[in-house]
Structures are given as structure tokens and as C-alpha cells.
């Protein structure tokens, strides 16, 4: 029975190691591979009675048990970008190992060592789970992972109390045939396998999500690419019915001239900076995409045309203030914008065509302009009139 848990966990150790070989950037997988291996070593030390001295055996096996639990907790946390911290781990390790040394050499007490290790390890895992409460608001696999980790940490307390109570187990060899010992390894095998399975499933989900992000993202700007924008925007329009929805399309003016005069590195610098600017001036729920070479689009769910005009003005003003390495004085890049508001029965392609027509009007009128339906907002000094957009008043062309 004592070998069931280590055998199962060794299989998972190899699985995590294999996952790390495939996904080396996920360093936490190495910790998750090391933890079950260390636990298996600890069990082997206890079962083999090596070293034969009871205090030395307790201390050496305890060292591997403690390291396994702390490394497992740290691995689970690092997957979510969190850590318990070096000082916390040093303190926890010193407390457990110091207690084991005291109850092995100074005041030998097997029952005290049992409670110290089980309650200590349970506490470490519970603390780790409390750092991951945000997972309860995440994907189903993340919620499962949280509850499995929480149950794993919590089970140390009732299991120890119910299977060993307050009676000293006596001789160590008799202790390894006790109910506590058998239930301990059975529960560790079951819950350990459940935790490892949840972690592997979560890791697989992470990889799939990363692949989806790479598929849906523009490599240079990090915005949505055209395919992802069309898919998500179509879904938003279908879900929102006839609710207001504005679409903004924009095009960097004379972009080919930038590439021809300053090189493609300069063009990439402009695209990357403009993508960051669009994301900064947009709302979190807006869909921001690069849909062509120097073309961008923003879908504003629940927003009318005036909101699109305000966003376009913020983007145009922000672009005028950007300084690029090839133009230290700034103001070298402008953009033209076209805005359309969804009308009843509009499809995404119809809305895009409507906004494109306004964009072409803006470019034909001299560029660095924003067109929405039959109105145009022109550069400074009239730019200040954009403040009226907040009240829904749209400036007329001059």
C-alpha cells in the first residue's frame, strides 16, 4: 500500500518532465516534476528503514517530504504568476525541520512528529490555495484546480485526527502497519493523482489558450488580426441585436513613404506605437484590430457615433504627440479615420463598407481627418471642438 502513492506520483513526475521538454518556457513544470519525485524518495527512505537509526530516518525522510510539499506549492503558484517568497519558504522549512529534529533527538515523540508534519504540510498547501482564490473566477479547469488543491491541503487535518487520534503509535515498524499509515498513502495517492491531473489539464488549457492567442493576434502590434476581428465582431453584432454599435476604421497616412524613406524598421516602429495607442484610448470591451498593412479597426459595442468620434480624436491627438526615432521632432505621422454607426439590419460587412467610405472621404479631403456620415472633424485649431463630442454634439465641416 505504501508504494502505491509513490508509483502513481512518479508517473506524473515523468509526465510533467515531458511537458517541460515540450514547453520549456513554463519553468513551473520542472518544480511540479520534482515534487512527486522527492515525495517518492521520502517514502522509499521510510519503507526501507534507511538509515536504520530511527531519528536519522525520521529527519532524512522528513527533509524530502517537506521539500516535496513546498516545491509543489511553489510550482502551482508560479503557474499563476504568484509566489510565497523565499523568506516564507525558509521559515516554513525551518519550523518543520526544527520540530522534527527536536522530537527525534531531544524529546523523542513519534506522535508529535506525525502531527507536526501533517498539520505543517496541510497548512502550506492551504496557504498556497488561498493565494489562488482568483482561480474561482476563471475557467472551469482553474476552478477545479483550486478546489482540488484546497481539499488536498485540508484533508491532512481530519485524516490525521481520525486515524491516529491522541494515542502514541509506539514502535516505528508497528506504526507502518497502522490504519493511519495505510490511509495516509491511499489518500495521498488519490488526492495527489487528482491534483496532478488537474495541473496537467490546466497546463494543456494554458497551451491551447496561448495557441489561440497567437492565432488571433497580430505579431507586430499584439492586436487582433483580421480573422479574429471578423469572427469576434460578428459574434458581438449577433449578440447585441439592434443595440448601438460604432465601428471605427483608420489608416496611417503616407505609410509607404515612411517605409521608402526610413526603412521597414521605421514602419514597424510606427505600427507598433500606433497599436499601443489605440489600445490605450479604447475601452476594455472594445475590439481593437490591425486588419491590413497600415489599416486598423475598432468596434465599440454599445456605443453611438459620437463615442467613436471621441475615440478617434483621442487617437489622432495622441499620434501627433508621438516621437519616433526617425523623426526626433515628432508630428511626422498622421492618420485618417472613418466612423459608422450600425443601422437596423446591418451586417458586419455592411458596417465595414460604410466606415470605409467615410475613411476614403477623410483621405480624399486631405488626410489627418475624421469622417462620420456627412460630417468631418479637421485638424487644429478646430481640434478643440472635439470636446463637444462628450455631449453628443458633432462638429460640422469647414
What are the E-state strand segments in 302-352? Answer: 335-341
Nearest to 76 by CA among 14, 140, 144: 144
The helix/strand/coil state of 224 is: strand
**C-alpha span between 190 and 196 (Å, rounded):** 10
Q: What cell does 255 get?
A: 505609410
Strand partners, 296: 250, 290
254 and 199 in contact (C-beta within 8 Å)?
A: no
Q: What cell does 369 get?
A: 481627418
297 and 339 in contact (C-beta within 8 Å)?
A: no
The helix/strand/coil state of 388 is: helix
294 is catalytic: yes
Q: How many helices (H) and strands (E) does the chain have?
A: 13, 6
DSSP letter, residue 217? B
The helix/strand/coil state of 376 is: strand
What are the E-state strand segments in 131-261? Answer: 245-252
Among 294, 313, 341, 377, the one annotated catalytic: 294
| DSSP codes of every residue in 231-299 | HHHHHHHHHHTTS-EEEEEEEETTHHHHHHHH-HHHHHHHHHHHHHHHHHHS-TTSEEEE-SSSEEEEE
**C-alpha span between 337 and 359 (Å, rounded):** 5
Opening angle at CA 274, ends 259 and 398, nearest 5: 95
Which residues, other chains included, contact 23 with Cβ-Cβ below 8 Å and sequence gap of 6+? 29, 203, 207
Active site residues: 294
Amino acid at each position: 500500500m505504501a508504494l502505491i502513492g509513490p508509483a502513481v506520483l512518479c508517473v506524473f513526475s515523468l509526465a510533467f518532465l515531458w511537458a517541460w521538454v515540450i514547453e520549456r518556457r513554463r519553468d513551473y513544470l520542472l518544480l511540479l516534476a520534482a515534487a512527486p519525485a522527492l515525495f517518492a524518495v521520502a517514502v522509499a527512505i521510510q519503507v526501507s528503514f534507511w538509515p536504520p537509526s530511527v531519528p536519522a530516518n525520521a529527519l532524512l525522510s522528513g527533509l524530502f517530504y517537506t521539500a516535496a510539499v513546498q516545491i509543489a506549492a511553489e510550482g502551482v503558484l508560479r503557474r499563476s504568476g504568484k509566489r510565497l517568497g523565499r523568506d516564507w519558504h525558509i521559515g516554513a522549512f525551518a519550523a518543520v525541520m526544527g520540530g522534527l529534529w527536536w522530537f527525534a533527538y531531544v524529546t523523542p515523540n513519534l506522535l508529535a512528529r506525525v502531527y507536526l508534519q501533517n498539520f505543517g504540510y496541510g497548512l502550506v498547501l492551504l496557504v498556497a490555495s488561498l493565494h489562488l482564490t482568483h482561480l474561482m473566477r476563471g475557467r472551469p479547469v482553474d476552478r477545479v484546480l483550486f478546489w482540488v488543491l484546497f481539499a488536498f491541503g485540508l484533508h491532512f487535518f481530519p485524516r490525521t485526527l481520525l486515524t491516529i487520534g491522541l494515542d502514541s503509535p509506539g514502535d516505528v515498524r508497528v506504526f507502518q502497519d497502522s490504519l493511519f499509515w495505510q490511509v495516509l498513502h491511499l489518500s495521498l495517492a488519490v488526492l495527489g493523482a487528482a491534483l496532478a491531473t488537474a495541473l496537467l489539464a490546466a497546463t494543456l488549457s494554458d497551451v491551447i489558450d496561448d495557441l489561440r492567442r497567437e492565432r488571433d493576434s497580430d505579431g507586430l502590434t499584439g492586436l487582433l488580426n483580421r480573422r479574429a476581428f471578423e469572427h469576434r465582431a460578428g459574434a458581438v453584432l449577433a449578440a447585441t441585436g439592434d443595440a448601438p454599435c460604432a465601428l471605427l476604421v483608420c489608416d496611417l497616412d503616407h505609410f509607404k513613404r515612411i517605409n521608402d524613406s526610413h526603412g521597414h524598421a521605421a514602419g514597424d516602429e510606427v505600427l507598433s506605437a500606433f497599436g499601443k495607442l489605440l489600445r490605450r484610448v479604447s475601452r476594455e470591451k472594445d475590439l481593437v484590430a490591425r486588419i491590413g498593412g497600415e489599416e486598423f479597426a475598432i468596434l465599440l459595442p454599445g456605443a453611438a457615433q459620437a463615442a467613436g468620434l471621441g475615440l478617434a480624436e483621442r487617437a489622432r491627438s495622441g499620434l501627433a504627440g508621438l516621437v519616433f526615432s526617425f523623426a526626433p521632432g515628432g508630428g511626422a505621422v498622421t492618420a485618417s479615420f472613418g466612423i459608422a454607426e450600425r443601422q437596423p439590419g446591418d451586417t458586419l460587412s455592411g458596417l465595414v463598407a460604410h466606415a470605409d467610405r467615410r475613411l476614403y472621404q477623410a483621405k480624399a479631403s486631405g488626410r489627418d481627418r475624421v469622417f462620420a456620415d456627412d460630417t468631418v472633424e479637421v485638424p487644429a485649431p478646430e481640434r478643440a471642438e472635439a470636446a463637444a463630442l462628450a455631449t453628443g454634439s458633432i462638429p460640422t465641416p469647414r
